[in-house]
Structure 1
Amino acid sequence: MTPLVSIIMPCYNAVAHLPSSIASVLAQTFSDWELIAIDDGSTDSTLAWLKAQDDPRIRVHSQPNQGVSVARNAGLAKASGVYVAFLDADDTWDVHFLGKMVATLQANPDARLAYCGWQNLGLPGGRGEPFVPPDYENATKAETLFAGCRWPIHAALVRRDAVMAAGGFDPALKNAEDYALWLQVAISAAIIRVPEVLAYYHFHGIEQASGNRARAAQQHWLAQQKFLAAHPEFGLTHDTARIRALTSGQLLNRGYACYWQRDLSAAREIFRAVMKQRYGTLKDWKYMLPALLPESWHRWIIRLRNGE
């Protein structure tokens, strides 16, 4: 019997986290689902652990390591549900996630996607407060969604036909692949908010996809450029200065964030990318230009500027 929801979980060397993530799926109050786990060339015991699971709703596929986008696309090719959800192997859901998200989309048949609140767990310094995003279905939705990714990948439930029509995930993107998909799916059709925290993003000691801040910033910019190329009508509805502010300006802001948080290596890489686009005010360029110098010189200039 065809399940209503297909859950796609890419797995790479994730055996330490799978017991928690899979347990959060098994605990769902809504049970009409299939879980398609894609082992993406793991070198630990991930594949063996997955194959040892005895719930018939869990389907396991193995492939050579090709990255998360290819893994998710492989899962999509095997999915049969009306709706699809994406859960990474180190994240979890509230037990009511599927039930509430499915009920919301069924009650709103014109909506392609439902999104909910989430909480970041494991961040130091009290940065893990629960967050419920605002209602984005309004007159400024297109610009708001274009400016940045508004929910993590596991805080959404989406119609599978909409994902397939959008072409799935872009394998060329190592970051922002979910953001690029949401642009294709959510800007041109209704989306709906479930105003509850139902998804949990777990931070841990090893490098995660969001860890390389310079790459993440530039991949976000690249996803924007690809969207503009595929949807020239979006650019026609916004003046050039506004588009530049939403693309190069956002990239510059990410560079400043790295700079002020003392991640100078990432800031320098981002600043160089912004300068190639000839963006920024004179004040901005005073901060960016030292990124063309050796990093040791750049650090000396900062110390000099700070009177150290």
Structure 2
Amino acid sequence: MLIHNSGNIEGTEILKISHETKDEQIIAYYSEKYFTKTHQKLDINAMKTLFKLIKNAGDNTFFIDIGCENGTRLDYLYQNGIKGIGLDIAITNIIQGRQKFPHLKFIHGFAEEIPFLDNYFDLALFGINLKHTRNPEEILFEAIRVTKHALFFIITHNHENDDWITSPMSIQKLKDFLKDFKLDISCYLPNGTEYNNDDLYSSHNTSETLIIKAIITSSTTELLNEWSLCKKNEQEAYNYSLIIEKDQWEKTPGIVRHESELARFNLVSHLIQGGHVLEMACGNGDGLSEIINHKLRVVGIDISKNGIIHARTNNINKIKENEINFCLMDCFETAFKDNSFDTVIIPEVLEHIRSTRRIIQEAVRVVRHGGRIIISVPDGLLVPWEGHLRIFFKDTLETEIKQYTDDIEWHSLPFKKWLFCSFFVFKPQHQITDGPLVDILMPTYNGRETIRKAITSVQKQTYSNWNLIVVNDGGEDVSDIIQSLDDPRIKYIVTKHGGKSHALNIGIHKSYGEFISYFDDDDIIYPLHIEMLILSAIERNKGFVYSDWYEVSINESGDEINRYIEYSTDVTPLMLFYQNYINHKCILHKREYLSIVGDYDESLKVLIDWDMIRRLAFVEAPFHVHSFSSEHYQYFIDGKIQNKITSIWSKNNQIGEQTFDKIIHKSNKMLTVLTKKN
């Protein structure tokens, strides 16, 4: 969205702003209006009275300032211990506010579509007069929707230029208007006196300020419910008319993608969790180009008929293989059942629409418990385009997403044009509590810096019947971290240093679950990891299953510099004979199989995981669960990207070669024994 010169909009047209006035015109006009306004004047006495009225509502009151301008009013209340979020349609206000008050939270958006959940705030302040808006009724209802208790209107008449007023409304008319919404009205002068005489405010020449307090009643809530039903139908009509007017896919089946977009497509394809993926507002399907190569079940939806036609045409072979489908559908209200997808992607969508809340809410609804939502938007004004209705900075996007999660993961791209993040959605009512016990074995050695994050990822599992057995192999003590996590399912064992195999064997002998899984102290597993493995084992009657993973490279500063898929293969026992295609932490097997293949070989320093996986494969062919469910980290060690085990090999290549020969020789013997038994 570009900030246009106000000369592009005739002054006479501004006086006639109505429901038909376009969003872009509103943004451009008010952004230009405030472009040179760097100071927001406050009536200090009125602010003191407002502060007292807000404090009377209770401690820890949280508010939204609708029409916050550059945040001066927001900051006054913040300095007095009352926190809130500022909303404004003028881009220049948001930019100035973030620069002047970096400690405050701002959101660029429309008052007609406040991007927050119902009852998210205790109070709402109106810094703008409703007479400055194109749809006072809709704005007031939106404010009521997001507010629990009361609205405050700060009315002044000291505007230098009143020719920009769009809907002239006297104080008495405003009070009558508010009463139509069944609000309980009271008015206050700057000195705190409750005042009912409107004569003082009949003239626009007075600089006196009036504060109107409007308490939300049960009757107000009933009106809100009726209005919500009507608005839903109106919004659907608006969405379709907007697409018809601006359908970029009408004549062009595809567009040339910038390198930054291709980088985004690649990163998305390496963040997918699970096997069932939805992309909202998929357009012509370009964004799914890499994802569909991973043998996942993928659905793309868009409101543009032309976009869907192009997407289907471009991916006709994948559609025939039943790996992907494209559907004409409104992202605000999809036809999917609750909890239908493992991952939902919202790519470069939020900046094009007024109601970001509705699309994120729908994504939360259709993603399953423990599922992942991936969001990307242009960073600020770095991608100027007239089709953009909203702008986002990292802090403003974070403020909106914080409604749905406290744990947002930000991802880096080589091109700094995009904000890119993801989060997991948890729905406790869908937690799986029944099923076989899974013992997860975690050897640790001097892993204090990473082990908390690793264990926390286990605690977030959607399958809850597990024990985590942490075996400290004579390294730095981490008992304080274990205790702070306060989970009876976590068992902590300390042993003398004997190597990873030794620690794993200690864990095996302390385990008693029907199934065993493995985990390192510097990796993470996604919330669906154990659930997908155990359900696949049960439903397929398998005793040895594995999932897919992402390799993630970390530099010396702790920043992610690359992620990729090393293998995603249907592995046979024969394939494992000379090479490993399965990550150790991605497997789950029956505990009883260890009585057949034996413990971990404590004489090995490297290739420990491969040795065990090969032996298990001799008992039962591994079953591939087509689901990405974990991340395996590699770090810069001695100037090279590697993990703790491969660093041993790199220091002494002879160790690796000798271990390889030993494993081959040992497995040949085992294969002979198993063949004779069969």
Q: Settle same-fold status: TM greater than 0.5.
A: yes
Indicate how the Cα distance of structure 1 residues 120 and 217 shifts in structure 2: closer, same or farther if over 3 A, else same: farther
Q: 2:574, 2:440 → 1: CA distance? A: 29
Q: 1:134 is aligned with what amino acid?
A: T
State the AA in 2 paired with 1:5.
V
Pair 101,24 (structure 1): closer, same or farther in 2 beyond 3 Å: same
1:61 to 483, 490, 493: 493
Identity of matched residues, %: 23
1:30 aligns with 2:466: no
Deviations 1:69-120 (A, max 9, x none): 01001001111111111101111101100000000000122x2211111111
Question: Alpha-carbon deviations, 1:247-304, whole Å to 9, x = none?
Answer: xxxxxxxxxxxxxxxxxxxxxxxxxxxxxxxxxxxxxxxxxxxxxxxxxxxxxxxxxx
The CA deviation string for residues 188-233 of structure 1, in whole angstroms up to 9 with x for no partner, is: 3232111111121111244610122423343223211111133337
Q: Which residue of 1 aligns with 2:448?
A: 15
Matched, 1:154 2:589: no
TM-superposition CA deviations, 1:122-176 (whole Å, max 9, x none) = 257976213552212xxxx332111211111101111111123211211011111
Q: Is the 8 A contact 1:113 1:192 kept in 2?
A: yes
Matches within 5 A, 1:278-293: none
| 8 Å contact from structure 2 (residues 438, 516) kept in 1 | yes
Write out per-residue CA displacement over residues 37-77 of structure 1, whole angstroms, 9 at most, x where no aligned residue. Answer: 001111x3423322443100001111111111010010011
- Cα pair distance change 1:216/1:47, threshold 3 Å: farther
CA distance in 1, matches of 2:539, 2:674: 30
**Which residue in the other structure is 2:630 paired with?**
199
Distance in 2, matches of 1:97 and 1:8, equals 15
C-alpha separation in 2, matches of 1:234 and 1:74: 26
Local SS of the residue matching 1:190: coil
Q: Which one has the bigger strand percentage?
A: 2
- Report what 2:548 is aligned to: 117
Greater C-alpha radius of gyration = 2
Instruction: Summarize the Cα distance change of 1:57–1:3 in structure 2 as closer, same or farther, 3 Å threshold.
Output: farther
1:221 is aligned to 2:661: yes
Check whether the contact 1:112–1:186 (CA below 8 A) recurs between aligned residues.
Answer: no
Structure 2 length-normalised TM? 0.32
| Structure 1 counterpart of 2:601, from 167, 170, 187 | 170
Moved more, 62-71 or 189-198: 189-198
Richer in helix (by share) = 1
Q: Which of 528, 548, 569 is matched with 1:134 structurally? A: 569
Tell me the equivalent position of 2:408: none
- Distance of 2:496 and 2:673 partners within structure 1: 39
Does the alignment pair 1:107 with 2:518? no
Paired position in structure 1 for 2:482: 50
TM-score (norm 1): 0.69
Which SS does the other structure have where 1:38 is aligned?
strand
Deviation of residue 9 (structure 1)?
0.4
Return closer, same or farther for 1:235/1:77 CA change in 2, 3 Å cut-off: closer
| Cα distance between partner residues in 2 of 1:192 and 1:46 | 35
Q: CA RMSD in A?
A: 2.5
Structure 1, gaps ≥5 residues long: 237-308
Tell whether the 8 Å contact from 2:546 to 2:625 is kept in structure 1 after alignment. Answer: yes
Which residue number in structure 2 is paired with residue 182 of structure 1? 613
Q: Is the 8 A contact 1:2 1:81 kept in 2?
A: no
Alignment partner of 1:224: what SS? helix
CA distance in 2, matches of 1:49, 1:234: 43
Q: Which moved more, 1:145-154 or 1:205-214?
A: 205-214
Hey, what's the Cα distance between the residues in 1 that align with 2:621 and 2:670? 20
Cα displacement string for residues 2-53 of structure 1 (whole angstroms, at most 9, x for unaligned residues): 96100000011111011110011011111100000001111x3423322443
* 2:570 alignment partner AA: D
Letter in 1 for 2:524: T
d(CA) in 2 for partners of 1:143, 1:231: 12
Q: Which residue of 2 aligns with 1:91?
A: 523
Number of matched pairs: 230
The letter of the residue matching 1:50 is I
The aligned residue for residue 284 of structure 1 is: none
Q: Which has the higher contact order (CA 8 A, sep 6+)?
A: 1
SS state at 1:70 partner:
helix
Q: More deviation in 118-127 or 83-92?
A: 118-127
2:584·2:613 contact (CA, 8 Å) conserved in 1? no
Instruction: Tell me how far apart the structure 1 counterparts of residues 459 and 543 of structure 2 sit (CA, whole Å).
Output: 25
The answer to whether the 8 A contact 1:116-1:155 is kept is: yes
CA distance in 1, matches of 2:527, 2:587: 15
- Cα drift, residue 187 of structure 1: 2.6
